[in-house]
Structure 1
Amino acid sequence: MTYHCHRCGAPLASAPPVECPACGYAMFLNARPTASVIIVDGDRFLALMRAREPNAGRWDLPGGFCDGWELPRDAAVREAREELGVAVRLDQFVGMYLGEYQFQGELLPVLDMFWLATIVDGQLRPDPSEATDHGWLPLRDPPSMAFSTMDSALPDAAAMLVRGH
């Protein structure tokens, strides 16, 4: 694969991080931020069956990429509204996890952020372009999820709830 400078278009010697030999622009490959919610009801959490690639047909958590200049907390609330048709209240912050996302033939680094959340308004109506199904799954014994960061965040969320934080 050939890489080019984002500023002047000159060919680059390698993948980022790299400095453009023509204009001196320093190019980096930074993780893209995402925001997701772990909606809990007792000892269960709400999961969606992904309708699209990557990982279509696997269990997923409501969430997605932060828009430019959007605060991650705002993105988490927006994504829940878009994907589920409900308003949520964000509760405890579970954590940030470094992962990967396959998009347009590229493997991108992502920084996935998760919050415990509660539905506060609306009727659950998952967007069919996002999910083919949904279900309440056991938080203490979750299935393998669509992304490894979710596999890490769910046990951390369960531990937080046990400790009462």
Structure 2
Amino acid sequence: MRGVTRAVRDRGHCRRRADIRWRAGPTRAPRVTPRFCLACGARLRRVRAEGRWRRRCPRCGWTYYANPVPAVVAVIVRRGRLLLARRGRPPYAGTWDAPGGFLESGETPEQALRRELREEIGVGVRRARFVGFATDRYGPGGFVVLAAAYRVTPTSTKMRAADDVSEVRWFPLARVPWRAIAFVGLRGLLRKAVRRGTASVPPPDIEGYWQLTPGSSW
């Protein structure tokens, strides 16, 4: 997945380097927090609203919502083996992940899935079936990601690591390195997807899964 590499410096967003809040951890991931109103440029204030702490403009009332960033991942299983991609860039460089990435503006999840698989492992999508959602933080203290997972049949089994992937590998289902998969929410969803083709109800925290019955479509 691609991450945020620089702050947007337009008026009302991040005006100085200090606006990018770095968090310590195994890797560092940027957490971009606006300090100025996108509507009028006034300095935002931290207020308690709707049961959460938010940043709100005292002049015009505009409120910043830290909404999840949409992404897609591919669950590719063939002959009892699961395909995983090794992350070549932070956060969590060197750990395993499912092929996929963030949606570009104007893309549907299906379009993003096809683009990401072509970019990362060099294959197309023959068939794709939606299996569930996973939510995670993109690195320690990073932004929240909402990933839509698809059970994918690729156009070819000849795959190559490209873009931000350093290696692709097939793992027998009995030997998948679950604890080495970067994202906890995705890890749980992958377990459910390869085991029963369904996902379970999320726990009351940021990392979890949404229920989807077998055979459902999106």
Code of the aligned partner of 1:147: F
The partner residue of 2:102 within 44, 65, 69 is: 65
Code of the aligned partner of 1:10: A
RMSD: 2.6
The answer to whether the Cα contact below 8 Å between 1:96 and 1:113 also exists between their aligned partners in 2 is yes
The answer to whether the Cα contact below 8 Å between 1:94 and 1:156 also exists between their aligned partners in 2 is no
1:156 equivalent in structure 2: 192
Give the number of the structure with larger relative contact order, counting CA–CA contacts within 8 Å between residues 6 or more apart: 1
Is 1:133 matched with 2:167?
yes
Is 1:17 matched with 2:54?
yes
Which segments of 5 or more consecutive residues in structure 2 lack a partner in the other structure?
A: 1-18, 20-33, 48-52, 199-213
SS in 2 for 1:107: coil
The answer to whether the Cα contact below 8 Å between 1:33 and 1:112 also exists between their aligned partners in 2 is yes
Q: How big is each residue's C-alpha offset from its partner over 1:113-143, in whole Å with a ceiling of 9 and x where there is no partner?
A: 110111114841220x422222101335521
How many residue pairs end up in the alignment?
162
Cα 1:98/1:122, change in 2 over 3 Å: closer
Q: How big is each residue's C-alpha offset from its partner over 1:36-71, in whole Å with a ceiling of 9 and x where there is no partner?
A: 101111211111111100000001111110011211
Instruction: Calculate the TM-score normalised by the size of structure 1.
Output: 0.85
Cα 1:67/1:106, change in 2 over 3 Å: farther
1:83 equivalent in structure 2: 120
Cα 1:140/1:155, change in 2 over 3 Å: farther
The answer to whether the Cα contact below 8 Å between 1:112 and 1:149 also exists between their aligned partners in 2 is no
SS in 1 for 2:58: coil
1:146 equivalent in structure 2: 182
Identity of paired residues, percent? 34
Which is strand-richer, 1 or 2? 1
Instruction: Calculate the TM-score normalised by the size of structure 2.
Output: 0.66
The partner residue of 2:146 within 108, 111, 124 is: 111
1:11, 1:27 → 2: CA distance?
Answer: 12
The partner residue of 1:6 within 32, 38, 48 is: 38
Q: How big is each residue's C-alpha offset from its partner over 1:101-121, in whole Å with a ceiling of 9 and x where there is no partner?
A: 13xx96101101110111114
The answer to whether the Cα contact below 8 Å between 1:95 and 1:113 also exists between their aligned partners in 2 is yes
2:130, 2:196 → 1: CA distance?
Answer: 10
1:71, 1:101 → 2: CA distance?
Answer: 21
